[in-house]
């Protein structure tokens, strides 16, 4: 009979796996896992409710490693507690095709709730997950039936604390009173430049008072190497129901390494064979690399405990199902991410086509939301303090507050925080988040868009005021390079619709797209409705299509958004036949089969592209022989009509461009 090893040894197993895997890879970060080993024992062994046998259990606690460079800590925990992550994968840390890349990636190894590494975003994802839990609980729980009741835990370090986004998201978490959010701060006084200086030269925040000011419960000055003390702090955090909790844990980075502990050297480089041997000696770990004694394995194994925890919840669910069969069905649908049976966005498109309104596409977007929001309870909208401009609110939108419930978040002026919170909402499950700001400020949130694309999340961005057509606010607010640069992000679909019908199609595509984010680029100014027959309406979803053809066309004018009307006007003025191609989404068009793409843009047909943005991007479609009517400088402050004229966005100029390429 083997008996479970003491917790001290369980912690040392994490140390050993981290230093050995980093050494084997000859790259990585041993310091953080070695410094947070006891904290990991206190949380994962004593407090976390999860089921390694079923990582997708809906009511599991969520765990986010915001200081994602310490990935070996998470991989070791997943392996040891019994997730399907064999030791062979730990041995292949950071190698091509392994499930253990340099930073934890959602979807690779089971149990990884979000991709982390870009500091500050993990804790902000955790805020989104905690919001999701609170919203789902308010929507589905009934007296005597606590169907949704779990916590969200996050580890974060000095790096996350320094990042601006942590200020945005954590302030919002305090305001919303996310009582089930528990963060542990790895307060080790070391970040990368500690190998050249001392952290007090760049970081002297009073973290305790900072978080108290946000409205958090702060449990400060906990010895992060004292498992009992950490356990007490975690229990106290769990008792708090109305405030998020930050536990400030004093730790020593690289703890156990005789010469490198508490130095910048332990942060992000292998300790080296000599130091590793000395560490083994110092902590009394006699086992060879990647060998974990049975007693330690037994201590860590959480499969049986996890099965029991989920079984208890399954009983809660069965009771709930008996009492509220329809709600139970709806809950399962939401968690799976399926759309409601019978939901079809086709009617939206037809309706827009019948109405034929000339309005701004941001307004068309709001009209679409008037239908989508009541039909899809999973939609959680919001705006970074531009609700009235982004037109992201519908009549059925209810504001989310401290008390829970609702489907619309006033994010405040926090674009990046909004992006990461949206990712957390999507990752938790049960929600399709959409959020608005001006297109020009997509830069503020850009890396969160990238993370959504990398993770394949269904998030939707409502970026309004999509060109110099916004007018008087001037060049600070006029996007020029944004449409093109967003299109460079792999797996992000970008739509820039030209009227109400294209806007409805874009929204439908965003909702139906399960495996990636969508950005909707919408106009401030009115855009004319374009008449199309049904077959043409059906082609919009292909991203690019012939909007207006001419027999024997000798050139194609490709346009997006507000510039489509210019293409049509130029077509009328020209005495040579040209075809007008509307291209609301280049990425969607690029995914169409070759026959379709060649039918829309035949090989050898000279091309002109028009977009009120930088010209380089369009060379991909028009080639070096084609022409682009665009703008390669910043805009000006003036009424929109004056600006379009001033910068050459006129039918006459498009005519000139066409003539220049047709021989
Ligand atoms: C946004 C972002 N900027 C920079 C980095 C590079 N980086 C990785 S870890 C780190 C220092 C982090 O310090 P801390 O969180 O205290 O980690 P510790 O050394 O204590 O483990 C930096 C700058 C990053 N991963 N993400
Ligand atoms: Mg640190």
pLDDT in tens, 260-318: 999 999 999 999 999 999 999 999 999 999 999 999 999 999 999 999 999 999 999 99
State the Cα–Cα distance between residues 75 and 54, nearest whole angstrom: 17
> Model confidence over 52-66: pLDDT tens digits?
999 999 999 999 999
Give me ligand 1 centre to Cα 439, in Å.
29
Say yes or no: CB of residue 118 within 6 Å of ligand 1: yes
- Whether the per-residue pLDDT at 1 is higher than 90: the answer is no
Residue 33 half-sphere exposure toward CB, CA atoms < 13 A: 31
Confidence at residue 630, expressed as pLDDT on a 0 to 100 scale: 98
Atom in ligand 1 nearest the alpha carbon of residue 121: 1
CB 540 within 8 A of CB 578: no
C-alpha pair distances (Å), 293 with each of 7, 78, 279, 376, 603: 13, 17, 18, 51, 66
Label residue 404 by pLDDT band (50, 70, 90).
confident
Q: Give Cβ neighbours of residue 97 (< 8 Å, ≥ 6 apart).
A: none
Atom in ligand 1 nearest the alpha carbon of residue 32: 21
Strand partners, 603: none
Instruction: For CA atoms 132, 133, 137, 138, give the dihedral sign.
Output: negative
Give me ligand 1 centre to Cα 198, in Å.
15
Rounded to an integer, the average pLDDT of 226-240 is 98
Q: Quick one: tokens of 151?
A: 């916590």
State the Cα–Cα distance between residues 119 and 267, nearest whole angstrom: 14
The residue among 29, 23, 603, 21 whose CA lies nearest residue 275 is 23
Say yes or no: CB of residue 112 within 6 Å of ligand 1: no
State the Cα–Cα distance between residues 133 and 138, nearest whole angstrom: 9
Percent of the chain topping pLDDT 90: 99
β-pair type (518-522, 493-495): parallel
The alpha carbon torsion through 344, 350, 351, 356 (nearest 10 deg) reads 150
Confidence at residue 500, expressed as pLDDT on a 0 to 100 scale: 98
Atom in ligand 1 nearest the alpha carbon of residue 191: 13
Among 113, 163, 310, 415, which one carries the catalytic annotation? 415
> Model confidence over 354-400: pLDDT tens digits?
999 999 999 999 999 999 999 999 999 999 999 999 999 999 999 99
Residue 165 three-state SS: helix
| Closest residue by CA, ligand 1 atom 12 | 159
Angle at 296 between CA 104 and CA 27, to 5 degrees: 35
Q: Quick one: tokens of 163?
A: 């990042």
φ/ψ of residue 107, rounded to 5: 95, -15
Give me ligand 2 centre to Cα 255, in Å.
13
Confidence at residue 331, expressed as pLDDT on a 0 to 100 scale: 98
DSSP 8-state assignment for residue 286: -
State the Cα–Cα distance between residues 618 and 609, nearest whole angstrom: 6
Taking the CB of residue 535, how many other CB atoms lie within 10 A of it? 8
Say yes or no: CB of residue 192 within 6 Å of ligand 1: yes
> Model confidence over 475-515: pLDDT tens digits?
999 999 999 999 999 999 999 999 999 999 999 999 999 99
User: Mind giving me the DSSP string for 369-404?
Assistant: HHHHHHH-TTEEEEESS-HHHHT---TT--B--TT-
Confidence at residue 447, expressed as pLDDT on a 0 to 100 scale: 98
State the Cα–Cα distance between residues 321 and 192, nearest whole angstrom: 52
Atom in ligand 1 nearest the alpha carbon of residue 69: 9
Instruction: Tell me which ligand sits closest to the C-alpha of residue 254.
Output: 1
- Whether the per-residue pLDDT at 663 is higher than 90: the answer is no
What is the model's pTM?
Answer: 0.98
φ/ψ of residue 579, rounded to 5: -105, 140
Say yes or no: CB of residue 518 within 6 Å of ligand 1: no
Say yes or no: CB of residue 255 within 6 Å of ligand 1: no
Residue 295 three-state SS: helix
Indicate the average pLDDT of the chain. 98
Instruction: For CA atoms 564, 569, 571, 574, give the dihedral sign.
Output: negative
State the Cα–Cα distance between residues 431 and 77, nearest whole angstrom: 28
Provide the greatest CA pair distance for the chain.
93
State the Cα–Cα distance between residues 366 and 418, nearest whole angstrom: 19
Q: Quick one: tokens of 561?
A: 């958004």
CB 178 within 8 A of CB 134: yes
Return the H-helix or E-strand segment holding 219: strand 217-223
Say yes or no: CB of residue 145 within 6 Å of ligand 1: no
Return the H-helix or E-strand segment holding 621: helix 619-622
Length of the chain: 663
Rounded to an integer, the average pLDDT of 542-552 is 98
Say yes or no: CB of residue 635 within 6 Å of ligand 1: no
Pocket probe mutation, ligand 1, options 124, 156, 159, 202, max atoms within 8 Å of Cβ: 159
Q: Give Cβ neighbours of residue 53 (< 8 Å, ≥ 6 apart).
A: 82, 303, 306, 307, 310
* Ordered strands of the 493-495 beta sheet: 408-410, 379-383, 432-438, 460-464, 518-522, 493-495
State the Cα–Cα distance between residues 44 and 390, nearest whole angstrom: 42
Q: Quick one: tokens of 73?
A: 């800590």
> Is 168 a catalytic site residue?
no
The alpha carbon torsion through 306, 309, 311, 313 (nearest 10 deg) reads -140
């Amino acid at each position: 009979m083997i008996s479970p090893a003491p917790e001290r040894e369980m912690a040392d197993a994490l140390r050993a796996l981290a230093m050995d895997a980093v050494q084997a890879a000859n790259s990585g970060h041993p310091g953080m896992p070695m410094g947070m080993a006891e904290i990991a024992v206190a949380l994962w062994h004593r407090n976390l409710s999860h089921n390694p046998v079923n990582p997708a259990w809906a009511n599991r606690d969520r765990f986010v490693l915001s200081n994602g460079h310490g990935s070996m800590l998470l991989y070791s925990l997943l392996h040891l507690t019994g997730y399907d992550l064999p030791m062979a994968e730990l041995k292949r840390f950071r190698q091509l095709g392994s499930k253990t890349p340099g930073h934890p990636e959602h979807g690779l190894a089971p149990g990884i709730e979000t991709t982390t590494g870009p500091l500050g975003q993990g804790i902000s994802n955790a805020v989104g997950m905690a919001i999701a839990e609170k919203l789902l609980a308010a929507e589905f729980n009934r007296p005597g039936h606590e169907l949704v009741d779990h916590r969200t835990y996050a580890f974060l370090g000095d790096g996350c604390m320094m990042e601006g986004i942590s200020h945005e998201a954590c302030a919002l978490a305090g305001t919303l009173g996310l009582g089930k959010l528990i963060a542990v701060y790895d307060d080790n006084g070391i970040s990368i430049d500690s190998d050249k200086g001392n952290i007090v030269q760049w970081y002297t925040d009073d973290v305790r008072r900072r978080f108290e000011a946000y409205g958090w419960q702060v449990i400060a000055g906990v010895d992060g190497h004292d498992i009992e003390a950490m356990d007490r702090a975690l229990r106290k955090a769990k008792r708090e129901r109305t405030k998020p909790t930050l536990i400030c844990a004093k730790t020593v980075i690289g703890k156990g390494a005789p010469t490198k502990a508490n130095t910048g050297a332990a942060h992000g480089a292998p300790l080296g064979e000599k130091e590793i041997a000395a560490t083994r000696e110092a902590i009394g770990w006699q086992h060879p690399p990647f060998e974990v004694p049975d007693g330690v394995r037994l201590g860590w194994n959480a499969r049986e405990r996890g099965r029991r925890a989920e079984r208890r919840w399954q009983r809660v669910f069965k009771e709930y199902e008996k009492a509220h069969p329809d709600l139970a069905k709806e809950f399962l649908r939401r968690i799976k991410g399926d759309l409601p049976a019978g939901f079809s966005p086709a009617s939206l498109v037809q309706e827009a086509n019948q109405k034929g309104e000339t309005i701004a596409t941001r307004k068309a977007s709001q009209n679409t939301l008037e239908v989508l929001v009541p039909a899809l309870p999973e939609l959680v909208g919001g705006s970074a303090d531009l609700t009235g401009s982004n037109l992201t609110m519908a009549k059925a939108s209810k504001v989310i507050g401290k008390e829970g419930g609702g489907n619309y978040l006033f994010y405040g002026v926090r674009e990046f925080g909004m992006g990461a919170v949206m990712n957390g909402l999507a990752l938790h499950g049960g929600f399709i988040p959409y959020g608005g700001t001006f297109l020009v400020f997509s830069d503020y949130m850009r890396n969160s868009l990238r993370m959504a694309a990398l993770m394949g999340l269904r998030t939707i961005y409502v970026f309004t005021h999509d060109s110099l057509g916004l007018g008087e606010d001037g060049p600070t607010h006029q996007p020029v390079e944004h449409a093109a640069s967003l299109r460079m992000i792999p797996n992000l679909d970008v739509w820039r619709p030209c009227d109400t019908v294209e806007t409805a199609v874009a929204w439908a595509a965003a909702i139906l797209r399960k495996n990636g984010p969508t950005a909707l680029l919408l106009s401030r100014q009115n855009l004319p409705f374009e008449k199309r027959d049904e077959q043409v309406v059906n082609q919009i979803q292909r991203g690019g299509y012939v909007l207006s053809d001419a027999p024997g066309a000798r050139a194609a004018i490709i346009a997006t958004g507000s510039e489509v009307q210019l293409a049509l006007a130029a077509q009328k003025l020209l005495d040579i036949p040209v075809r007008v191609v509307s291209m609301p989404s280049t990425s969607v068009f690029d995914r169409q089969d070759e026959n379709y793409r060649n039918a829309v843009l035949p090989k050898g047909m000279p091309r002109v592209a028009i977009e009120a943005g930088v010209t380089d991007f369009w060379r991909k479609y028009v080639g070096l022989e084609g022409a682009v009517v665009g703008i390669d400088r910043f805009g000006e402050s003036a009424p929109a009509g004056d600006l379009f004229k001033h910068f050459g966005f006129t039918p006459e100029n498009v005519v000139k461009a066409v003539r220049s390429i047709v021989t």
